Structure 1
Amino acid sequence: MNNEDGNDNDIIDDKKINNDIRDDFETEGVSTILGDPKKAILKLSGPMIIAMLITSFYSLIDGIWVAGIGHNALAAIGFIYPIFLMVMGFSQGLGVGATSVISRFIAEGDKTKADNAALHIILLTVILTILSMVSMGLFLHPILEMLGAGVTTEAMNLALSYGNVLFAGSIFIVFTATAYGILLGEGNVKKTTYAMSFGAILNIILDPIFIYVFNWGMAGVGFATVVSLGIVSVIILYWFRGDTYINFSLKYFDFNKDLLKKILAVGMPAGAESIIVAFLEGFLIMILVTVSGTDAVAVYSLGWIVIMIAIVPVLSVTDSVVPVVGASFGAGRYEDLEIIQNYSIKIGTLIAIMSALITFILAPYIAGLFTYSPETVGLHSLITDFLRIMTLFCIFIPAGYVSLSIFQGLGKGLYSFILNLVSQLIFIVIFAYILAIPIGMGQYGVWWGIIFGNIIGSTIGFIWSKLYIKNIIASKNRENKVF
C-alpha cells in the first residue's frame, strides 16, 4: 500500500511540476487553446482567415500574371499543381501532426515533450525535403507526360521550366508548412498570420519582376515562390530561438521512437491525404484533356484558384479545430468535442453560403481578370460557368472538413485518411468519369462530379465523427460510474 501511495504521489507531483512549467512559459496562444472552445475557434480562425486570404490572392495574382504569357502557360500551372500538392500536402501533413501532438502535450502541461516533439518534426522535415528533391529531379518529366502535358511541346516546356525551379526549393516549401503547424499547435496564430501574409505579399511583388523585368517567364514564377518562402523561413527560425512557447534549442532534443510514432500517426495519414488529392487532380486533368484538351485544364486550374479563395474562411475555421480538439482531448474535457463540432460547422456553413453568393454574382468579372489577352479571351464564358456551378461545392465543405480536423485533433489520422480516400478518390472520380465520358457532359460533367462526390463524402464524414464523439463521451461516463 505504501509503495502504491508513493507512486500516486509521484504522479501528482509530476503533474504539478509540468503545470508549473507550463504556467511559467504560457503564452497568449496557449491560454487560448486551453480556454473556452467557442472563443478559441473564433480567436484562432480570425487571423488565419486574413493570412490564408492573402496567400490565396497571391495564387490568383500569379494566375493573372501568367495569363499574359498565354493559355499554355496557364495549362502548365494546372499540370504542375497535382505534383506540387503531393510535396506541399506531405509537408502540411507533418504540420498537422505537429499541431495535434504539441497541443495535446501543452494541455497535459508537458513543455519538455512539446519542445522535443518540435525538434523531431524538424528532423522529419529534412528527410522529406531530401526525398522531394531527389524524386522530382528524377521523375518530373515522366509524371508530366502521364498527366498529358506532352499533348503540346510548349505546355510541357513551360511546365518543366516552372516545376524544376519550384521543386529545387523544396526545403522552404516543406519547412514553412511544418513550422506553421508547430506555431498553430501552441495557438500562436498571430505569428502564423504574419509569416504567411508576408510571404504572400513578397511573392506578389516578385512575380512581375522575375517574369517580365528579368524576362524569366515561367521560371520566374518558380523563383518568386522559392525566394519569398526562403526569406519567411529565416524569419521563423529567428522566432523559434526564444520568441515562442516552443523552443528549437538542440539541448531539448532526445530521440524517442514513440514520440516519432505519435507525430507520424497523424502526419503520415494527413500527408497521404495529399496524395489522394494529387491523384484526384491528376485523374480529373486526364479526363479534362481527353474530353476538351488543354483549354479545359486552364479553365479548371484558374477557376479552382478562385474557389479556394472562396472557401479560405471555411478552411481557416476547420484548421483551428485541430489544436482546440487536441487541447480539449488532452485535458480530458470530452464534452467540449460536441460543442466544437456543432459550433465550427455552424459558423463554417454560414461563411460558406455568403462566399458562394458573392462568387456567383462576381463570376463574370472574376473571369475577366484571366481573359484579358487575345489568347485567353475565348475562355471567359467557361470560367464563368465553372465558378457559378462550383459555388454548390463550397456550401458542403464545412461538414466534411470539420470531420477531418476532429479526427486529426484526436490523433486518429488513419480515420481522416480513410474518409478522404472514400470522398475524393472513389466518389468524385467515379461521378466525374461517368458524367464526363459515358454520359457525354464533357468538362461540365467533371465539375458536377466534384460536387456530387463532395456532398456524399461530407455526409459520411459528419455522421462518422458525430458517432465517434458520442462514443468517447459514453466511454468516459461508463468509467465515471465504475469509479
Structure 2
Amino acid sequence: MSKNDNIKIITGDPKKAIVKLAIPMMISMLLIMMYNIADSIWVAGLGADALAAIGFITPLFMVLVGLGNGIGAGANSLIARNIGAKNYKQANNSGLHAILLSVIVSVIFTILIEGFMVPILQFMGAGDTIQYAMDYSYIIFGFLFIFVYSGVASAIFRSEGDMKRSTIAIAITAVLNIILDPIFIYILNLGIAGAAWATVISATMSCVIMSYWIWGKKDLYLDLSLKNFDYQTSLMVDTLQVAIPSTLENIVFSALAIIINSMLVLAAGTTAVAVYTASMRIVQLAMIPLIGLGTAVLTVAGVAYGAHNYKNLKTAHSYSIKVGFLISIILGAIMFVFSSPIATIFSYTAASASLSPQIATAISVLSLFVLAIPHGIMSSMMFQGVGKGTYSLLITLLRSLILETVFAYLFCFTFGWGLTGIYAGVVFGCFVGGTIGYVWAKLFIRRFKQIAIRKYAPQEN
C-alpha cells in the first residue's frame, strides 16, 4: 500500500478507516502482550516472589511506557489534525518536535527514577521481593530512552495511517523478546535480570529498524528531515496538551495498581499480588482489540476534527463502541469458561503450582472487566484525538483512581468480600466511570456539530 493510499484511508469512510487501522494495531498489541506474558511465565518459574516482583515493577513500567505513548499520542493527534487540515508543513514539524520531546523527557525521568528506585519499592511494600524488583528495574529504567522513542516513532507511523510498518517493528520486538527470555533467564542463568535484558535488547532492535525507515529509506508520507524542523513553542505546547494528560493517565493506572496491590497485601499477603499480576496479564490480553480500536479512533478522530467533519467524528465514536462491545462479550465469555486451563500456564513448576486455583478465580471475576470498558476507553481516545487530552485524563481519574479504588475497598473491607471484593470493585468502578465518560463524549460531539455547522457551513455538503 502506498503512502497516498494510507492518507486516503484515514480521510475517507471512518468505519473502513477504523477497521483497517485497528486490525494491524490489534496484532501489534497482541504481540506486545505475548512478550509481557512470556516475561511473567518464564519469571514464574523462579517462584512466587519473583512473579510478585514483576507485579510491583509493572506499575512503574507502565509509567515508563506511558512517557513514550503519551508523547506519541500527542504527536499522533497533532499530525492527524494537520493532515485533516491539509497543513503538511506543520505535520512534518510536529513529528520532529515529538522526537525532540522524547529525548528531553528520557534524560529527566531516567535520572529521577533510577535515583529513587529503592524508596519507591519500599513505599510500595515490596518487602521480601525487593531484591528481585531491583535486579529487574535498574536495567529496564536505565534504558528509558529506548522505550520512549519506540512509542513516539510507532505513533508517527500510525498518524499517517501506516500501520503495517508499525506492526512489523513491534512484531520484531515481541518475537525477539520471547526467544531471548528463556536464554537469558535460564541458559545464561541471569534470573530475573535476564528478563530485563531480553526486553531492552528486543526493544532496541525495533528502534533501529524504525529509524532506518524514517531517515534511511525516507519513504514516509511525512518528511522528518532536519531541514523541516522549525522550533515553535506552540507545537511543543500543543503536543504536551495531549502528551501530559496521556502520560498522567498511565501514572493513574500505575497508582491504581499500587493501591490495589496494597489492598491485596493487607487482605492476603504478597502471594495475592502474584495472583492478581498473573490474572491481569490475561485481562490485558483480552483488552488488546479494544486498545487497537481506541488507537484507530485517535487517528480518525484527529483527522475528522482537523477537517471540521463532525459526521465522521460521531461515526468513529459510535461505531468503535459497538464493535468494542461485540468483541468484549466474546472474549469475556472465553475467559470465564476457560479460566482454569488458562491459570495453569502460570503454575507449571512446583514453586508456583499452588497459585492455579486462585488465579482461576481471579480470571473468572475479572472477565467482567472486559465488558465494562469499551464505552469508556473509546470516549477517552476520541478526546485525545481531537486534542482534548485533559478531558481524557479526567475520565481516567474518575474511573480508575477514584471509583475503582473506592469500590474495591468497600467490597473487600467494608462488605467483607475479601479478594473477590477487590476484583468486583475494580470491575464495577470501571463500568460506572466509563459510562460518565461516554455521556461526556456525546455532549462534546453535539457541541462540535453546532460549531462546525455555524462556522464551516459553506464547506459542508
Please state which band the TM-score falls in when normalised by the shorter chain. Answer: over 0.9
Cα distance in 2 for partners of 1:265, 1:281 equals 25
Equivalent of 1:200 in 155, 170, 174: 174
Cα distance in 2 for partners of 1:238, 1:181 equals 16
The residue that corresponds to 2:113 in the other structure is 136
Cα distance in 2 for partners of 1:181, 1:141 equals 32
The residue that corresponds to 2:453 in the other structure is 477
Q: Match for 1:71: what amino acid?
A: A
The residue that corresponds to 2:304 in the other structure is 328
Q: Does 1:156 align with 2:120?
A: no
Partner-residue secondary structure (3-state), 1:69: coil
CA pair 340-481 structure 1, distance change in 2 beyond 3 A: closer
Q: Match for 1:117: what amino acid?
A: S
Contact in 2 for aligned 1:360/1:387 (Cα 8 Å):
yes
Q: Does 1:362 align with 2:352?
A: no
Cα distance in 2 for partners of 1:159, 1:480 equals 55
Cα distance in 1 for partners of 2:292, 2:154 equals 13
Equivalent of 1:267 in 219, 226, 243: 243
**Counterpart mapping for 1:382-401 below 5 A:** 382-401=358-377
Q: RMSD of the TM alignment (CA)?
A: 1.4
Q: Match for 1:101: what amino acid?
A: L
The residue that corresponds to 1:39 in the other structure is 16
The residue that corresponds to 2:257 in the other structure is 281
Cα distance in 2 for partners of 1:465, 1:171 equals 34
Contact in 2 for aligned 1:28/1:188 (Cα 8 Å):
no
The residue that corresponds to 1:433 in the other structure is 409
Q: Does 1:171 align with 2:145?
A: yes
CA pair 215-402 structure 1, distance change in 2 beyond 3 A: same
Contact in 2 for aligned 1:95/1:181 (Cα 8 Å):
yes
Partner-residue secondary structure (3-state), 1:240: helix
Contact in 2 for aligned 1:52/1:197 (Cα 8 Å):
no
Partner-residue secondary structure (3-state), 1:390: helix
C-alpha deviations, 1:248-302, integer Å up to 9, x for none?
3111111000111111111111111111111111111111111111110001111
Q: Match for 2:193: what amino acid?
A: A
Q: Taking structure 2 as the reference length, what is the TM-score of the superposition?
A: 0.97
C-alpha deviations, 1:306-331, integer Å up to 9, x for none?
11111101110111000100111111
Q: Taking structure 1 as the reference length, what is the TM-score of the superposition?
A: 0.92
**Counterpart mapping for 1:348-427 below 5 A:** 348-427=324-403
Partner-residue secondary structure (3-state), 2:316: helix
Contact in 2 for aligned 1:118/1:182 (Cα 8 Å):
yes
The residue that corresponds to 1:22 in the other structure is none
**Counterpart mapping for 1:241-320 below 5 A:** 241=215, 242-320=218-296
Equivalent of 2:206 in 212, 222, 232: 232
Equivalent of 1:100 in 59, 77, 98: 77
Equivalent of 1:219 in 193, 200, 203: 193
Cα distance in 1 for partners of 2:266, 2:370 equals 26
Partner-residue secondary structure (3-state), 2:181: helix
Cα distance in 1 for partners of 2:37, 2:254 equals 20
Cα distance in 2 for partners of 1:274, 1:108 equals 30
Cα distance in 1 for partners of 2:425, 2:68 equals 28
List gaps (5 residues or longer) in structure 1: 1-24
Q: Match for 2:7: what amino acid?
A: V
Aligned-pair identity (%): 39
C-alpha deviations, 1:183-220, integer Å up to 9, x for none?
11111111111011110110000000100111100100
The residue that corresponds to 1:17 in the other structure is none
Q: Shift in Å at residue 441 of structure 1?
A: 2.1
Partner-residue secondary structure (3-state), 1:247: coil
Cα distance in 1 for partners of 2:232, 2:88 equals 15
Contact in 1 for aligned 2:79/2:91 (Cα 8 Å):
yes
